[in-house]
Amino acid sequence: MNEHFNDIFVTTGCPSQQQLLDYVQGKLSAAEQHEVEMHLADCELCSEAIEGLSAIKEKEKIPGWIIEMKWNLLKQLRLRSRSRRKLETYIYLAVLIFGIILLLLGAFWAYYFINRK
């Protein structure tokens, strides 16, 4: 039995994002490339990702896209967070005003009944 078959069922961890990019750009050594491909046989997520990344025409642009997408995502999240904080402030103010009105009504009611007696 050839000893190379011993590693057929060895489970490997997912490659890093950089390794994936280097793989699709053909920048890996033969050994590194084989290691990534060993993993692809087990991991549907990486396998599908590599298939899609390979179809991108200008692969050197991918890192720039990632930075742009992250920036847009974080901007949207900050906007969401700001509007949620705004909403929380409005709710807090509304509760405060309602409390003050109740207090005033209570004071007025107490004053009115004390004077009546």
Size, binding site for another protein by CB under 8 A: 46
What's the min distance (Å) between Cβ of 115 and another protein? 51
Half-sphere exposure of 91 (CA within 13 A, CB side): 6
Burial class of residue 71, CB neighbours in 10 A (0-12, 13-18, 19+) = exposed
Is there binding between residue 7 and another protein (CB under 8 A)?
Answer: yes
CB of 96 to another protein, least distance (A): 23
Query: Judged by CB under 8 A, does residue 13 bind another protein?
Result: no
**Binding another protein by CB under 8 A: which of 45, 60, 114, 117?**
45
Residue 72 touching another protein (CB under 8 A): yes
| Stretch 85-114 residues interacting with another protein (CB under 8 A) | none
Binding site for another protein (CB under 8 A): 1-2, 4-9, 11, 14, 17, 20-21, 30, 33-34, 37, 40-42, 44-53, 55-57, 62, 65-66, 69-70, 72-74, 76-78, 81, 84
